[in-house]
Amino acid sequence: MGKNDRKSYNLAKRFRKKEVQKFLVMFMFMTIPLILLFVFTYLPFFKMFQFSLYDMKYTGPRKYVGLKNYYEVLTDKEVLRSLSISLYYMLGSFIQLALALYFATLLSFKTRLGGLFKGAIFFPYLVSGIAVGFIFRFFYTRGFVLDSVLTFLGFPLDSLPYWLRDKSVNNFALVAASLWRYTGQNMVLFIGAIMSVDKELYESASLDGANRWQQFKYIIVPSIQTIIVLNLILSITGALSAFELPFVITQGTRGTSTFFLLMHNMAHDLQKVGKASAMALVLFGIIIVVTIIQKVIFKYLFRDANSDISVKTRKRLKKAEKRSQEAKGFS
């Protein structure tokens, strides 16, 4: 073998070695996350489905009952009542998104003390859910913070309801606490999306005679529709799985037990692991159905997202760019 042939052979060998190393690195980076995903996500999910087919506790014998647990979940009045409680939180999630989008739209542009307002609105999300629960438990206690403020404003104490005992208002009180905590999270996501919109779109829309509402409707909303859908999915999923606040503030008493809280009590207090697993899978199915409905509705609502002013604006931007290029050519 000649000297040149030996060099070529060594280069080819090194190249193959690098290719092998590259393949091994890619394989490891792909394999390890997949293993973790399987061990901590898919395997527990399959085990939960297996548990849902048995009448069992954490320890002791188990009895195969098939789909009986699912039948009991879907016909249990207490379970259905807890699902109806989730409607309060679902309604609150729409109000939460509207407030978050409103604040995000205002604070995405130059606003006096904008940074302070952003921090103040986002801060509750940084506080532990358990701590927020204790704060509002004290806030709603008879004769304390909320009652003191309302009494100062002229409302007689006797005319005020017991915020956590009265079944006509206690769920609304819990939803208000949820709004206070989670609005900031949605707002930050909206701000990030709005600030990524091209500023020239607003300038061109203003030249077309669009007012602020039209800019919001035809530029901001279509541009951030993906984040709107994401926030809506997160909010409604959170509404269906509300747990911390009702658990800490009311312990699920007086008609405030949510589906997730009832499932927790079923699994840990009553140790009906099979039925609790069936409840978890039913909740998973509900979330999937709600997500699909949301996507269909938003697809219908945004079917004309690129029409009217947004189309005019883009055409005007193209013309402006063309004129700019022509001016550079002449110069």
pTM of structure? 0.76
Q: Specify the higher pLDDT residue, 289 or 306.
A: 289
CA atoms within 13 A on the CB side of 122: 15
| Average pLDDT of span 202-218 | 80
The helix/strand/coil state of 256 is coil
Ranges 33-37, 80-84, 197-201, 241-245: which has the least confidence? 197-201
At residue 61, the pLDDT reads: 86
What are the pLDDT digits (tens) for 21-76?
Answer: 777 777 777 888 888 888 888 888 898 899 889 888 888 888 888 888 899 888 88
Calculate what percentage of the chain has a pLDDT beyond 70.
84
Q: How confident is the model at residue 309 (pLDDT cuts 50, 70, 90)?
A: very low
List pLDDT tens digits, range 111-131.
787 788 888 999 999 988 889
Q: At residue 6, does pLDDT exceed 70?
A: no
Four-CA torsion 142, 143, 146, 151, nearest 10 degrees: 130
Degrees to nearest 5, angle at CA 255 with 254 and 261: 105
pLDDT value at position 230?
84
The whole-number pLDDT of residue 180 equals 92
Q: Which carries the bigger pLDDT value, residue 209 or residue 330?
A: 209
Q: Which helix (H) or strand (E) holds 55?
A: strand 54-55
Q: In one letter, which amino acid is 128?
A: S
State mean pLDDT over 144-160: 88
pLDDT at 326: 61
Q: At 110, phi and psi to the nearest 5?
A: -65, 115
Q: Residue 221: which pLDDT band, with cuts at 50, 70 and 90?
A: confident
pLDDT at 310 over 70: no
Q: Has residue 143 got a pLDDT over 70?
A: yes
Structure-model confidence comparison of residues 144 and 321, the more confident one: 144
Q: pLDDT class for 287, splitting at 50, 70, 90?
A: confident
Give the distance from CA 248 to its chain's centroid: 21
Q: Do residues 189 and 179 make contact, with C-beta atoms less than 8 angstroms apart? A: no
Please state, in angstroms and as integers, the Cα–Cα distance from residue 152 to each residue in 70, 144, 155, 159, 179, following that order. 52, 12, 7, 13, 24
pLDDT at 176: 93
Distance, CA of 301 to chain centre:
20
Q: Which of 91-100, 166-175, 286-295, 318-327 has the lowest mean pLDDT?
A: 318-327
- Mean pLDDT value of segment 89-97: 90
Residue 103 banded pLDDT, cuts 50, 70, 90? very high
- Residue 54 sits at φ, ψ, to 5 deg, of -125, 150
- pLDDT for 187 equals 92
